[in-house]
Amino acid sequence: MLSGITGANDASGAWTIELDGVSSLYDGLTIAIKLNKGPNATYNTLNITNISAGPQLVWESSGIRLTDQHNRYDELILVYRTNVGSYTTPSSSANTPGTLTAGETYRNGWVVINSREKTSYVTLKEWGSVT
């Protein structure tokens, strides 16, 4: 499983990460991330910078957006899913945090399948793989 830590200069809830070995998004792609910044209360995105897919919504579970369920330094295992839910961003760009287009509907994204609260003694590598 590919893993990494989100960017130190990210805005809250607009996470970026570079993951070598990922060339495209596909249904079932599973990764592990450690949040370097906390979430946003409206919605959150993850952008894998070394591919051209752009930012994707992060969902807490199918049809439920991740908002403030996790904290800075939490570790998340995510799986990419198509048609996981439906979310339309606010129509005003002033009310649209992060990197999604105002007034657009999003259906695909990352779903949290496991999480662990921040810890100083366990790393992503020690966490192991998804079974």
pLDDT tens figures, 62-101: 888 888 888 888 899 999 999 998 888 877 655 555 567 8
pLDDT at 11 over 50: yes
What confidence score (pLDDT) does residue 78 get?
A: 94
Whole-number Cα distances in Å, 22 to 25, 27, 77, 126, 129: 8, 13, 15, 21, 17
Q: Could you tell me the end-to-end alpha-carbon distance of the chain, in angstroms, rounded to an integer?
A: 11
pLDDT of residue 129: 42
pLDDT number for residue 93 = 58
* Most confident of the ranges 75-79, 112-116, 118-122: 75-79
Ranges of each domain in the chain: 2-117
Other beta carbons within 10 angstroms of residue 3's beta carbon come to: 17
Q: Which residues contact 121 (CB under 8 A, 6 or more apart)?
A: none
